[in-house]
Structure 1
Amino acid sequence: MQRRHLLAGAAGAIVARPALAQGAWPNRTIRMIVPYTPGAATDAMARLAAQKLQEKLGVTVVVENRPGANGAVGSQAVLQSPADGYTIMGSASIHPMARHVMKAAPYDPVADFIPVARTARGPLVLVMNPRLPQATIPEVVEAAKREPSKWTFATSSLGAAGHLGSIEFNRMTGANIEIVGYRGSAPALTDVAAGNAQLMFDPVLATLPMIRGGQLRGLGIATAARTPLAPGLPTLVEAGLPGFEFYSWYGVWAARAVPREIVDRMNAAIVEGMREPAVVERLTGLGFEPVAESVDEAQRFIVADVARNAELLRIANFQPE
Protein backbone atom coordinates (compact mmCIF):
# COMPACT_ATOMS: atom_id res chain seq x y z
CA MET A 1 0.00 0.00 0.00
CA GLN A 2 2.81 2.41 0.90
CA ARG A 3 4.69 1.65 -2.31
CA ARG A 4 1.58 2.25 -4.40
CA HIS A 5 1.10 5.54 -2.60
CA LEU A 6 4.60 6.65 -3.55
CA LEU A 7 4.06 5.73 -7.16
CA ALA A 8 0.63 7.27 -7.29
CA GLY A 9 1.85 10.49 -5.74
CA ALA A 10 4.80 10.70 -8.09
CA ALA A 11 2.57 10.08 -11.09
CA GLY A 12 1.37 13.65 -10.61
CA ALA A 13 4.64 14.64 -12.27
CA ILE A 14 2.90 14.67 -15.65
CA VAL A 15 0.31 17.28 -14.73
CA ALA A 16 0.77 20.48 -16.71
CA ARG A 17 2.03 23.67 -15.08
CA PRO A 18 2.17 27.18 -16.49
CA ALA A 19 5.38 27.96 -18.33
CA LEU A 20 7.75 30.69 -17.27
CA ALA A 21 8.63 33.74 -19.30
CA GLN A 22 9.48 33.07 -22.94
CA GLY A 23 13.19 32.58 -23.50
CA ALA A 24 14.08 31.81 -19.87
CA TRP A 25 14.90 28.29 -18.73
CA PRO A 26 12.68 26.43 -18.22
CA ASN A 27 9.87 27.54 -20.49
CA ARG A 28 8.68 24.18 -21.83
CA THR A 29 8.32 20.54 -20.90
CA ILE A 30 11.30 18.76 -19.36
CA ARG A 31 11.71 15.08 -20.22
CA MET A 32 13.20 12.74 -17.62
CA ILE A 33 14.36 9.46 -19.15
CA VAL A 34 14.52 6.39 -16.90
CA PRO A 35 16.73 3.71 -18.51
CA TYR A 36 14.83 0.88 -16.83
CA THR A 37 11.32 -0.58 -16.80
CA PRO A 38 8.46 1.04 -14.85
CA GLY A 39 7.49 -0.06 -11.37
CA ALA A 40 10.82 -0.69 -9.65
CA ALA A 41 12.54 1.51 -7.07
CA THR A 42 14.58 3.41 -9.68
CA ASP A 43 11.42 4.35 -11.56
CA ALA A 44 9.61 5.35 -8.36
CA MET A 45 12.44 7.59 -7.19
CA ALA A 46 12.74 9.20 -10.63
CA ARG A 47 9.04 10.00 -10.63
CA LEU A 48 9.30 11.55 -7.19
CA ALA A 49 12.21 13.73 -8.36
CA ALA A 50 10.22 14.69 -11.47
CA GLN A 51 7.27 15.68 -9.30
CA LYS A 52 9.47 17.92 -7.15
CA LEU A 53 11.15 19.51 -10.18
CA GLN A 54 7.73 20.28 -11.63
CA GLU A 55 6.45 21.80 -8.41
CA LYS A 56 9.52 23.99 -7.87
CA LEU A 57 10.25 25.02 -11.48
CA GLY A 58 6.66 25.50 -12.62
CA VAL A 59 6.81 23.49 -15.86
CA THR A 60 5.63 20.03 -16.88
CA VAL A 61 8.10 17.21 -16.26
CA VAL A 62 7.29 13.93 -18.01
CA VAL A 63 8.92 10.59 -17.24
CA GLU A 64 9.81 8.33 -20.16
CA ASN A 65 11.01 4.77 -19.59
CA ARG A 66 13.67 3.71 -22.13
CA PRO A 67 15.00 0.32 -20.93
CA GLY A 68 17.57 -1.80 -22.71
CA ALA A 69 21.24 -2.80 -22.80
CA ASN A 70 21.75 -2.50 -19.04
CA GLY A 71 20.72 1.16 -19.08
CA ALA A 72 22.70 2.14 -22.16
CA VAL A 73 19.66 2.80 -24.39
CA GLY A 74 18.22 5.44 -22.10
CA SER A 75 21.60 6.92 -21.21
CA GLN A 76 22.51 7.39 -24.86
CA ALA A 77 19.14 9.00 -25.53
CA VAL A 78 20.04 11.68 -22.98
CA LEU A 79 23.47 12.29 -24.51
CA GLN A 80 22.04 12.45 -28.03
CA SER A 81 19.52 15.13 -27.06
CA PRO A 82 20.35 18.86 -27.11
CA ALA A 83 22.31 19.88 -24.00
CA ASP A 84 19.74 22.50 -23.04
CA GLY A 85 18.39 21.11 -19.77
CA TYR A 86 15.16 19.77 -21.27
CA THR A 87 16.27 16.11 -21.34
CA ILE A 88 17.62 14.61 -18.12
CA MET A 89 17.85 11.15 -16.60
CA GLY A 90 16.61 9.46 -13.43
CA SER A 91 18.71 6.42 -12.57
CA ALA A 92 20.48 4.61 -9.75
CA SER A 93 23.90 3.72 -8.39
CA ILE A 94 24.45 1.27 -11.24
CA HIS A 95 24.69 4.12 -13.78
CA PRO A 96 28.22 5.33 -12.90
CA MET A 97 29.46 1.71 -13.09
CA ALA A 98 28.64 1.27 -16.79
CA ARG A 99 32.23 1.12 -18.01
CA HIS A 100 33.09 -1.46 -15.37
CA VAL A 101 30.28 -3.88 -16.23
CA MET A 102 29.83 -3.42 -19.99
CA LYS A 103 32.64 -4.53 -22.27
CA ALA A 104 32.02 -1.77 -24.81
CA ALA A 105 30.07 0.94 -23.00
CA PRO A 106 29.31 3.62 -25.63
CA TYR A 107 29.80 6.46 -23.14
CA ASP A 108 31.67 7.38 -19.98
CA PRO A 109 29.05 7.71 -17.22
CA VAL A 110 31.29 9.91 -15.08
CA ALA A 111 32.89 12.12 -17.72
CA ASP A 112 29.87 12.47 -20.04
CA PHE A 113 27.25 13.06 -17.33
CA ILE A 114 26.97 15.47 -14.43
CA PRO A 115 24.96 14.46 -11.36
CA VAL A 116 22.16 16.96 -10.87
CA ALA A 117 21.43 15.51 -7.43
CA ARG A 118 21.36 12.31 -5.48
CA THR A 119 17.86 11.91 -4.09
CA ALA A 120 17.78 8.98 -1.66
CA ARG A 121 19.43 5.77 -0.62
CA GLY A 122 17.98 2.48 0.56
CA PRO A 123 19.78 -0.32 2.41
CA LEU A 124 20.00 -3.78 0.93
CA VAL A 125 18.37 -6.80 2.55
CA LEU A 126 19.72 -10.32 2.12
CA VAL A 127 16.82 -12.64 1.34
CA MET A 128 16.57 -16.33 0.53
CA ASN A 129 14.07 -18.91 -0.64
CA PRO A 130 11.86 -19.63 2.40
CA ARG A 131 11.68 -23.39 1.78
CA LEU A 132 15.38 -23.92 2.38
CA PRO A 133 16.21 -25.36 5.81
CA GLN A 134 18.91 -22.82 6.65
CA ALA A 135 17.72 -19.97 8.89
CA THR A 136 20.87 -17.95 9.60
CA ILE A 137 23.79 -16.56 7.64
CA PRO A 138 26.34 -18.94 9.25
CA GLU A 139 24.12 -21.87 8.26
CA VAL A 140 23.88 -20.56 4.69
CA VAL A 141 27.64 -20.09 4.44
CA GLU A 142 28.32 -23.59 5.77
CA ALA A 143 25.85 -25.16 3.31
CA ALA A 144 27.15 -23.12 0.37
CA LYS A 145 30.73 -24.14 1.08
CA ARG A 146 29.72 -27.79 1.39
CA GLU A 147 27.66 -27.88 -1.82
CA PRO A 148 28.44 -24.74 -3.86
CA SER A 149 26.69 -26.03 -6.98
CA LYS A 150 23.34 -25.85 -5.18
CA TRP A 151 23.58 -22.14 -4.38
CA THR A 152 23.09 -19.08 -6.59
CA PHE A 153 22.86 -15.37 -5.94
CA ALA A 154 20.32 -13.56 -8.13
CA THR A 155 20.94 -9.87 -8.79
CA SER A 156 18.82 -7.27 -10.54
CA SER A 157 21.66 -6.32 -12.87
CA LEU A 158 25.40 -6.72 -13.09
CA GLY A 159 27.03 -3.70 -11.49
CA ALA A 160 24.01 -2.92 -9.32
CA ALA A 161 24.34 -2.55 -5.56
CA GLY A 162 22.98 -6.07 -5.06
CA HIS A 163 25.66 -7.50 -7.34
CA LEU A 164 28.38 -5.68 -5.43
CA GLY A 165 26.91 -6.78 -2.10
CA SER A 166 26.95 -10.39 -3.31
CA ILE A 167 30.62 -10.09 -4.27
CA GLU A 168 31.50 -8.66 -0.86
CA PHE A 169 29.50 -11.39 0.88
CA ASN A 170 31.48 -14.05 -0.96
CA ARG A 171 34.75 -12.29 -0.17
CA MET A 172 34.06 -11.85 3.55
CA THR A 173 32.63 -15.33 4.15
CA GLY A 174 34.93 -17.31 1.88
CA ALA A 175 31.94 -18.70 0.02
CA ASN A 176 31.99 -18.99 -3.75
CA ILE A 177 28.32 -18.60 -4.61
CA GLU A 178 27.62 -18.05 -8.30
CA ILE A 179 26.09 -14.64 -9.13
CA VAL A 180 23.54 -14.46 -11.95
CA GLY A 181 22.38 -11.14 -13.41
CA TYR A 182 18.74 -10.56 -14.35
CA ARG A 183 16.85 -7.86 -16.22
CA GLY A 184 15.55 -6.08 -13.14
CA SER A 185 14.62 -6.83 -9.54
CA ALA A 186 11.16 -8.28 -10.18
CA PRO A 187 12.21 -11.36 -12.20
CA ALA A 188 15.19 -11.96 -9.91
CA LEU A 189 13.06 -11.86 -6.75
CA THR A 190 10.48 -14.08 -8.43
CA ASP A 191 13.15 -16.68 -9.15
CA VAL A 192 14.36 -16.62 -5.54
CA ALA A 193 10.79 -17.04 -4.29
CA ALA A 194 10.31 -19.95 -6.72
CA GLY A 195 13.57 -21.63 -5.75
CA ASN A 196 15.32 -21.16 -9.09
CA ALA A 197 17.88 -19.04 -7.23
CA GLN A 198 18.55 -19.19 -3.51
CA LEU A 199 19.79 -15.77 -2.37
CA MET A 200 19.55 -12.11 -3.30
CA PHE A 201 20.47 -8.66 -2.03
CA ASP A 202 17.81 -6.05 -2.89
CA PRO A 203 16.47 -2.83 -1.32
CA VAL A 204 13.93 -2.73 1.49
CA LEU A 205 11.17 -1.39 -0.78
CA ALA A 206 10.92 -4.64 -2.74
CA THR A 207 12.00 -7.20 -0.16
CA LEU A 208 10.07 -6.36 3.01
CA PRO A 209 6.60 -6.89 1.51
CA MET A 210 7.71 -10.31 0.22
CA ILE A 211 9.24 -11.20 3.59
CA ARG A 212 6.03 -10.23 5.36
CA GLY A 213 4.02 -12.21 2.83
CA GLY A 214 6.09 -15.34 3.37
CA GLN A 215 7.45 -15.41 -0.20
CA LEU A 216 11.00 -14.73 1.01
CA ARG A 217 12.96 -15.23 4.20
CA GLY A 218 14.96 -12.26 5.46
CA LEU A 219 18.46 -13.15 6.65
CA GLY A 220 19.85 -9.70 7.40
CA ILE A 221 20.04 -6.04 6.49
CA ALA A 222 23.22 -4.33 5.28
CA THR A 223 23.20 -1.44 7.75
CA ALA A 224 25.06 -0.56 10.93
CA ALA A 225 21.84 -0.69 13.01
CA ARG A 226 18.55 -2.54 12.67
CA THR A 227 15.73 -0.85 10.78
CA PRO A 228 12.60 0.16 12.73
CA LEU A 229 10.58 -1.14 9.78
CA ALA A 230 11.68 -4.69 10.64
CA PRO A 231 13.28 -4.69 14.09
CA GLY A 232 13.46 -8.48 14.11
CA LEU A 233 15.76 -8.48 11.06
CA PRO A 234 19.39 -8.63 12.24
CA THR A 235 22.18 -6.68 10.60
CA LEU A 236 24.87 -8.50 8.68
CA VAL A 237 27.32 -6.99 11.15
CA GLU A 238 25.55 -8.96 13.89
CA ALA A 239 25.95 -12.08 11.76
CA GLY A 240 29.73 -11.71 11.87
CA LEU A 241 30.41 -9.49 8.83
CA PRO A 242 32.00 -6.35 10.35
CA GLY A 243 31.42 -3.12 8.46
CA PHE A 244 29.05 -4.74 5.95
CA GLU A 245 26.95 -1.81 4.72
CA PHE A 246 25.49 -1.60 1.22
CA TYR A 247 22.94 0.83 -0.14
CA SER A 248 21.30 1.31 -3.48
CA TRP A 249 21.13 5.03 -4.15
CA TYR A 250 19.18 7.06 -6.69
CA GLY A 251 19.70 10.31 -8.51
CA VAL A 252 19.17 12.60 -11.46
CA TRP A 253 21.78 13.25 -14.15
CA ALA A 254 22.21 15.61 -17.09
CA ALA A 255 24.65 15.60 -19.97
CA ARG A 256 27.94 17.19 -18.91
CA ALA A 257 27.48 19.84 -21.63
CA VAL A 258 24.33 21.27 -20.02
CA PRO A 259 25.11 24.77 -18.66
CA ARG A 260 26.07 24.61 -14.99
CA GLU A 261 23.60 27.33 -14.00
CA ILE A 262 20.76 25.12 -15.26
CA VAL A 263 22.13 22.11 -13.41
CA ASP A 264 22.39 24.16 -10.22
CA ARG A 265 18.77 25.33 -10.54
CA MET A 266 17.58 21.75 -10.91
CA ASN A 267 19.70 20.71 -7.94
CA ALA A 268 18.20 23.45 -5.75
CA ALA A 269 14.67 22.38 -6.73
CA ILE A 270 15.28 18.70 -5.99
CA VAL A 271 17.11 19.35 -2.71
CA GLU A 272 14.28 21.61 -1.54
CA GLY A 273 11.76 18.94 -2.45
CA MET A 274 13.62 16.10 -0.75
CA ARG A 275 13.80 18.13 2.47
CA GLU A 276 10.03 18.54 2.71
CA PRO A 277 8.76 16.86 5.90
CA ALA A 278 6.07 14.96 4.00
CA VAL A 279 8.67 13.57 1.57
CA VAL A 280 11.04 12.62 4.39
CA GLU A 281 8.22 10.86 6.23
CA ARG A 282 7.05 9.02 3.11
CA LEU A 283 10.52 7.82 2.14
CA THR A 284 11.44 6.83 5.68
CA GLY A 285 8.30 4.72 5.85
CA LEU A 286 9.43 2.91 2.72
CA GLY A 287 12.92 2.24 4.03
CA PHE A 288 14.68 5.08 2.21
CA GLU A 289 16.84 7.88 3.54
CA PRO A 290 16.51 11.18 1.63
CA VAL A 291 19.75 12.71 0.35
CA ALA A 292 20.10 16.48 -0.03
CA GLU A 293 23.50 17.57 -1.31
CA SER A 294 25.04 19.95 -3.83
CA VAL A 295 26.20 19.05 -7.32
CA ASP A 296 29.83 19.13 -6.21
CA GLU A 297 29.10 16.93 -3.19
CA ALA A 298 27.32 14.43 -5.42
CA GLN A 299 30.25 14.37 -7.84
CA ARG A 300 32.76 13.72 -5.05
CA PHE A 301 30.61 10.94 -3.63
CA ILE A 302 30.22 9.26 -7.02
CA VAL A 303 33.96 9.31 -7.77
CA ALA A 304 34.67 7.64 -4.41
CA ASP A 305 31.80 5.16 -4.81
CA VAL A 306 32.95 4.10 -8.28
CA ALA A 307 36.52 3.61 -7.03
CA ARG A 308 35.32 1.42 -4.15
CA ASN A 309 33.05 -0.66 -6.35
CA ALA A 310 35.59 -1.02 -9.15
CA GLU A 311 38.03 -2.45 -6.61
CA LEU A 312 35.41 -4.99 -5.51
CA LEU A 313 34.96 -6.08 -9.11
CA ARG A 314 38.73 -6.32 -9.59
CA ILE A 315 39.17 -8.47 -6.48
CA ALA A 316 36.39 -10.75 -7.70
CA ASN A 317 38.04 -10.97 -11.14
CA PHE A 318 34.79 -9.82 -12.70
CA GLN A 319 34.89 -9.61 -16.49
CA PRO A 320 32.62 -7.04 -18.21
CA GLU A 321 30.03 -8.51 -20.55
Structure 2
Amino acid sequence: MSISSLNRSSFSQPLSSPSQLQPAAVAGTQAQQPRGDLRRMLMTDSFEQGPARAGGASGDFNAQLAQVMGQLSQLMQALEVPSLGDFGDEAQVAAPSASAAAPAHPTYNSDAGPGFGPPSAGSTEPAPANAPWLAKNNVGSPYNSNMQLIDADQKGQFKYTNTFTNKTNQPQTLTLWNKTGENGNPNDGQNFDKSTPKTFTLQPGQSQVVAFDSNSSVAWAVSKDGLAKPGANSGQTWGEATFANSGTGWSGFDTSQIAPAGHNGKMSITNEATGKTVTEANAWQTEKDDPALHDVGVPAGPLNLRTEIG
Protein backbone atom coordinates (compact mmCIF):
# COMPACT_ATOMS: atom_id res chain seq x y z
CA MET A 1 0.00 0.00 0.00
CA SER A 2 1.10 3.63 -0.27
CA ILE A 3 -0.86 3.49 2.56
CA SER A 4 -1.75 3.61 -0.68
CA SER A 5 -2.02 0.60 -2.72
CA LEU A 6 -3.83 1.11 -6.00
CA ASN A 7 -4.26 -2.63 -6.47
CA ARG A 8 -6.93 -3.68 -4.00
CA SER A 9 -8.07 -6.75 -5.96
CA SER A 10 -4.89 -8.61 -4.93
CA PHE A 11 -5.08 -6.99 -1.75
CA SER A 12 -13.87 -34.99 51.94
CA GLN A 13 -15.25 -36.06 54.92
CA PRO A 14 -14.47 -34.53 58.40
CA LEU A 15 -11.70 -36.22 60.36
CA SER A 16 -13.28 -38.46 62.98
CA SER A 17 -10.22 -40.34 64.17
CA PRO A 18 -6.46 -39.91 64.10
CA SER A 19 -6.21 -42.72 61.57
CA GLN A 20 -7.59 -40.36 58.91
CA LEU A 21 -4.47 -38.22 59.17
CA GLN A 22 -2.59 -40.61 56.92
CA PRO A 23 -1.36 -38.56 53.92
CA ALA A 24 -2.82 -39.58 50.59
CA ALA A 25 -0.54 -41.02 47.93
CA VAL A 26 -0.38 -39.33 44.54
CA ALA A 27 -0.68 -41.62 41.57
CA GLY A 28 2.73 -42.63 40.31
CA THR A 29 4.56 -41.30 43.36
CA GLN A 30 5.31 -42.52 46.87
CA ALA A 31 3.47 -40.65 49.60
CA GLN A 32 5.78 -38.66 51.86
CA GLN A 33 5.39 -39.98 55.41
CA PRO A 34 6.30 -37.89 58.46
CA ARG A 35 8.99 -39.33 60.69
CA GLY A 36 7.56 -41.87 63.12
CA ASP A 37 8.50 -40.01 66.30
CA LEU A 38 7.12 -36.73 65.04
CA ARG A 39 3.91 -38.37 63.87
CA ARG A 40 3.39 -39.91 67.29
CA MET A 41 3.93 -36.55 68.98
CA LEU A 42 1.49 -34.78 66.67
CA MET A 43 -1.18 -37.40 67.25
CA THR A 44 -0.81 -37.42 71.07
CA ASP A 45 -2.57 -34.77 73.11
CA SER A 46 -0.70 -33.25 76.08
CA PHE A 47 -3.06 -34.86 78.61
CA GLU A 48 -2.28 -38.30 77.17
CA GLN A 49 1.41 -38.17 78.12
CA GLY A 50 0.86 -39.28 81.76
CA PRO A 51 2.15 -37.66 84.95
CA ALA A 52 5.32 -35.60 84.70
CA ARG A 53 8.47 -36.85 86.33
CA ALA A 54 9.17 -35.46 89.81
CA GLY A 55 11.22 -32.25 89.86
CA GLY A 56 11.24 -31.85 86.06
CA ALA A 57 7.70 -31.33 84.90
CA SER A 58 8.08 -27.78 83.62
CA GLY A 59 11.49 -28.25 82.06
CA ASP A 60 10.59 -31.53 80.38
CA PHE A 61 7.38 -30.06 79.03
CA ASN A 62 9.14 -27.01 77.57
CA ALA A 63 11.87 -29.13 76.04
CA GLN A 64 9.34 -31.48 74.46
CA LEU A 65 7.30 -28.56 73.18
CA ALA A 66 10.37 -26.96 71.62
CA GLN A 67 11.26 -30.26 69.99
CA VAL A 68 7.76 -30.70 68.58
CA MET A 69 7.73 -27.16 67.18
CA GLY A 70 11.12 -27.60 65.58
CA GLN A 71 10.12 -30.85 63.93
CA LEU A 72 6.81 -29.36 62.82
CA SER A 73 8.73 -26.53 61.14
CA GLN A 74 10.92 -29.05 59.35
CA LEU A 75 7.86 -30.95 58.16
CA MET A 76 6.25 -27.80 56.79
CA GLN A 77 9.41 -26.95 54.89
CA ALA A 78 9.64 -30.44 53.48
CA LEU A 79 6.02 -30.21 52.28
CA GLU A 80 6.65 -26.68 50.94
CA VAL A 81 3.88 -25.21 53.08
CA PRO A 82 4.38 -21.42 53.41
CA SER A 83 4.45 -19.95 56.86
CA LEU A 84 2.02 -17.25 57.85
CA GLY A 85 4.80 -14.69 57.78
CA ASP A 86 5.28 -15.24 54.09
CA PHE A 87 1.95 -13.62 53.30
CA GLY A 88 1.93 -10.32 55.18
CA ASP A 89 -1.08 -8.44 56.48
CA GLU A 90 -2.50 -7.43 53.13
CA ALA A 91 -1.58 -10.40 50.98
CA GLN A 92 -4.11 -11.43 48.37
CA VAL A 93 -4.16 -14.35 45.99
CA ALA A 94 -5.34 -13.36 42.54
CA ALA A 95 -5.84 -15.47 39.46
CA PRO A 96 -3.60 -14.31 36.62
CA SER A 97 -5.36 -12.71 33.68
CA ALA A 98 -5.08 -14.15 30.22
CA SER A 99 -3.27 -11.05 29.01
CA ALA A 100 -0.56 -11.56 31.65
CA ALA A 101 0.47 -14.87 30.11
CA ALA A 102 3.91 -14.92 28.53
CA PRO A 103 3.94 -14.90 24.72
CA ALA A 104 4.25 -18.33 23.13
CA HIS A 105 7.02 -17.14 20.84
CA PRO A 106 10.39 -15.38 21.08
CA THR A 107 10.23 -11.63 21.56
CA TYR A 108 12.60 -8.73 20.97
CA ASN A 109 13.11 -5.22 22.30
CA SER A 110 10.74 -3.29 20.06
CA ASP A 111 10.29 0.46 20.47
CA ALA A 112 6.59 -0.13 19.78
CA GLY A 113 6.07 -2.07 23.02
CA PRO A 114 6.65 -5.45 24.69
CA GLY A 115 5.75 -8.93 23.51
CA PHE A 116 6.13 -8.69 19.73
CA GLY A 117 7.91 -11.36 17.73
CA PRO A 118 11.12 -10.35 15.95
CA PRO A 119 10.66 -8.58 12.60
CA SER A 120 10.11 -10.86 9.63
CA ALA A 121 12.85 -11.44 7.08
CA GLY A 122 13.02 -8.84 4.33
CA SER A 123 10.56 -6.51 6.01
CA THR A 124 12.84 -3.48 5.66
CA GLU A 125 13.73 -4.01 2.00
CA PRO A 126 12.53 -0.97 0.05
CA ALA A 127 9.68 -1.41 -2.38
CA PRO A 128 10.05 -0.25 -5.99
CA ALA A 129 9.68 3.52 -6.18
CA ASN A 130 6.89 3.23 -8.73
CA ALA A 131 5.06 0.47 -6.84
CA PRO A 132 5.03 1.24 -3.10
CA TRP A 133 2.21 -1.25 -2.57
CA LEU A 134 4.70 -4.06 -3.18
CA ALA A 135 6.41 -3.41 0.16
CA LYS A 136 6.57 -6.58 2.24
CA ASN A 137 6.44 -4.80 5.61
CA ASN A 138 6.77 -6.56 8.96
CA VAL A 139 4.53 -9.53 9.75
CA GLY A 140 6.53 -10.76 12.76
CA SER A 141 8.35 -14.03 13.38
CA PRO A 142 6.28 -16.17 13.59
CA TYR A 143 3.61 -14.82 11.26
CA ASN A 144 1.10 -12.44 12.91
CA SER A 145 3.29 -11.88 16.00
CA ASN A 146 3.50 -8.22 14.95
CA MET A 147 0.00 -7.71 16.38
CA GLN A 148 -1.43 -8.43 19.83
CA LEU A 149 -4.90 -8.31 21.39
CA ILE A 150 -4.38 -6.44 24.66
CA ASP A 151 -6.42 -5.19 27.61
CA ALA A 152 -7.48 -1.55 27.59
CA ASP A 153 -5.36 -0.78 30.65
CA GLN A 154 -2.26 -1.97 28.76
CA LYS A 155 -2.72 0.53 25.96
CA GLY A 156 -0.20 3.00 27.38
CA GLN A 157 2.58 0.43 26.97
CA PHE A 158 2.30 0.48 23.19
CA LYS A 159 3.08 3.05 20.51
CA TYR A 160 0.63 1.93 17.81
CA THR A 161 -2.90 0.73 18.63
CA ASN A 162 -6.36 0.44 17.16
CA THR A 163 -9.43 0.19 19.42
CA PHE A 164 -12.25 -1.65 17.64
CA THR A 165 -15.80 -1.00 18.92
CA ASN A 166 -19.04 -2.69 17.87
CA LYS A 167 -21.73 0.00 17.61
CA THR A 168 -24.37 -2.35 16.22
CA ASN A 169 -26.99 -4.37 18.11
CA GLN A 170 -25.59 -7.72 16.93
CA PRO A 171 -22.31 -9.57 17.51
CA GLN A 172 -19.69 -8.74 14.90
CA THR A 173 -16.65 -10.84 13.98
CA LEU A 174 -13.62 -8.80 12.98
CA THR A 175 -11.12 -10.34 10.61
CA LEU A 176 -7.69 -8.67 10.78
CA TRP A 177 -4.84 -9.57 8.48
CA ASN A 178 -1.35 -8.52 7.44
CA LYS A 179 -1.22 -7.11 3.93
CA THR A 180 1.82 -9.33 3.25
CA GLY A 181 0.88 -12.98 3.10
CA GLU A 182 2.14 -15.86 5.15
CA ASN A 183 4.02 -16.92 2.01
CA GLY A 184 5.91 -13.61 1.97
CA ASN A 185 4.10 -12.19 -1.05
CA PRO A 186 2.85 -8.58 -0.89
CA ASN A 187 -0.94 -8.17 -0.84
CA ASP A 188 -1.46 -11.91 -0.35
CA GLY A 189 -2.59 -11.73 3.28
CA GLN A 190 -6.18 -11.16 2.18
CA ASN A 191 -6.32 -14.65 0.66
CA PHE A 192 -7.28 -16.68 3.70
CA ASP A 193 -6.66 -20.01 1.97
CA LYS A 194 -2.97 -19.02 1.92
CA SER A 195 -2.63 -16.83 5.01
CA THR A 196 -4.09 -16.98 8.51
CA PRO A 197 -5.79 -13.80 9.77
CA LYS A 198 -6.59 -12.93 13.35
CA THR A 199 -10.27 -12.96 14.29
CA PHE A 200 -12.24 -11.88 17.33
CA THR A 201 -15.91 -11.34 18.01
CA LEU A 202 -17.31 -8.20 19.61
CA GLN A 203 -20.66 -8.23 21.37
CA PRO A 204 -22.86 -5.13 21.00
CA GLY A 205 -21.07 -2.20 22.64
CA GLN A 206 -17.89 -4.20 23.28
CA SER A 207 -14.39 -2.96 22.41
CA GLN A 208 -11.05 -4.65 21.81
CA VAL A 209 -7.64 -2.98 21.65
CA VAL A 210 -5.05 -4.35 19.24
CA ALA A 211 -1.40 -3.26 19.39
CA PHE A 212 0.90 -3.29 16.37
CA ASP A 213 4.64 -3.38 15.92
CA SER A 214 6.56 -0.85 13.82
CA ASN A 215 6.49 -1.22 10.03
CA SER A 216 3.22 -3.17 10.07
CA SER A 217 0.74 -2.78 7.22
CA VAL A 218 -2.65 -4.33 7.99
CA ALA A 219 -6.28 -4.43 6.92
CA TRP A 220 -9.55 -5.56 8.47
CA ALA A 221 -13.21 -6.16 7.74
CA VAL A 222 -16.33 -7.62 9.33
CA SER A 223 -16.74 -11.11 7.93
CA LYS A 224 -20.07 -11.74 6.27
CA ASP A 225 -20.72 -14.99 8.11
CA GLY A 226 -18.28 -14.57 10.99
CA LEU A 227 -15.79 -16.95 9.41
CA ALA A 228 -12.29 -16.31 8.13
CA LYS A 229 -12.28 -18.10 4.80
CA PRO A 230 -11.45 -17.22 1.20
CA GLY A 231 -13.78 -14.50 -0.02
CA ALA A 232 -15.23 -13.73 3.43
CA ASN A 233 -14.02 -10.14 3.18
CA SER A 234 -15.12 -9.56 -0.40
CA GLY A 235 -17.82 -6.96 -0.78
CA GLN A 236 -17.08 -5.53 2.66
CA THR A 237 -15.90 -2.13 3.71
CA TRP A 238 -12.23 -2.46 4.58
CA GLY A 239 -10.11 -0.51 7.00
CA GLU A 240 -6.40 -0.24 6.38
CA ALA A 241 -3.44 1.12 8.33
CA THR A 242 0.31 1.29 8.17
CA PHE A 243 2.28 1.95 11.35
CA ALA A 244 5.75 3.52 11.07
CA ASN A 245 6.77 2.57 7.55
CA SER A 246 10.43 1.53 7.63
CA GLY A 247 11.33 3.79 4.73
CA THR A 248 9.63 7.03 5.78
CA GLY A 249 8.67 6.56 9.44
CA TRP A 250 5.19 7.78 8.56
CA SER A 251 1.93 6.04 9.37
CA GLY A 252 -1.49 6.25 7.72
CA PHE A 253 -5.02 4.89 7.62
CA ASP A 254 -8.01 4.77 5.30
CA THR A 255 -11.22 2.99 4.41
CA SER A 256 -11.13 1.06 1.15
CA GLN A 257 -13.28 -1.09 -1.08
CA ILE A 258 -13.00 -1.65 -4.81
CA ALA A 259 -16.35 -3.39 -5.31
CA PRO A 260 -18.54 -0.43 -6.36
CA ALA A 261 -21.78 -1.98 -5.12
CA GLY A 262 -20.28 -3.93 -2.30
CA HIS A 263 -20.68 -1.64 0.69
CA ASN A 264 -22.87 -3.34 3.26
CA GLY A 265 -21.26 -2.19 6.50
CA LYS A 266 -20.47 1.17 8.02
CA MET A 267 -17.04 1.87 9.39
CA SER A 268 -15.27 4.95 10.70
CA ILE A 269 -11.58 5.23 11.62
CA THR A 270 -10.38 8.09 13.83
CA ASN A 271 -6.96 9.32 14.89
CA GLU A 272 -7.49 9.77 18.62
CA ALA A 273 -4.84 12.50 18.83
CA THR A 274 -6.24 14.76 16.11
CA GLY A 275 -9.85 13.66 15.72
CA LYS A 276 -9.36 13.20 11.96
CA THR A 277 -11.90 10.61 10.80
CA VAL A 278 -12.47 8.65 7.60
CA THR A 279 -15.71 6.74 6.95
CA GLU A 280 -17.22 4.53 4.33
CA ALA A 281 -18.04 7.68 2.37
CA ASN A 282 -14.31 8.12 1.79
CA ALA A 283 -13.81 4.61 0.50
CA TRP A 284 -12.37 3.99 -2.94
CA GLN A 285 -15.08 2.94 -5.31
CA THR A 286 -13.01 1.79 -8.26
CA GLU A 287 -9.36 1.17 -8.99
CA LYS A 288 -9.29 4.32 -11.15
CA ASP A 289 -10.20 6.65 -8.28
CA ASP A 290 -7.35 8.82 -7.06
CA PRO A 291 -6.73 7.66 -3.47
CA ALA A 292 -4.64 10.66 -2.45
CA LEU A 293 -7.47 12.51 -0.76
CA HIS A 294 -8.75 9.40 0.99
CA ASP A 295 -5.56 8.42 2.81
CA VAL A 296 -4.65 10.14 6.07
CA GLY A 297 -0.90 10.45 6.50
CA VAL A 298 0.54 10.76 9.99
CA PRO A 299 4.12 11.92 10.66
CA ALA A 300 6.50 9.70 12.59
CA GLY A 301 5.42 9.13 16.19
CA PRO A 302 2.73 7.28 18.16
CA LEU A 303 -0.60 6.58 16.51
CA ASN A 304 -3.73 5.44 18.36
CA LEU A 305 -6.69 4.73 16.12
CA ARG A 306 -10.33 4.11 17.00
CA THR A 307 -12.42 2.04 14.60
CA GLU A 308 -16.18 1.91 15.00
CA ILE A 309 -18.25 -0.71 13.23
CA GLY A 310 -21.85 0.24 12.40
Q: Give the TM bin, normalised by the shorter chain.
A: under 0.3
State which structure, 1 or 2, has the greater radius of gyration over its C-alpha atoms.
Answer: 2
Q: TM-score, normalised by structure 1?
A: 0.22
Q: TM-score, normalised by structure 2?
A: 0.23
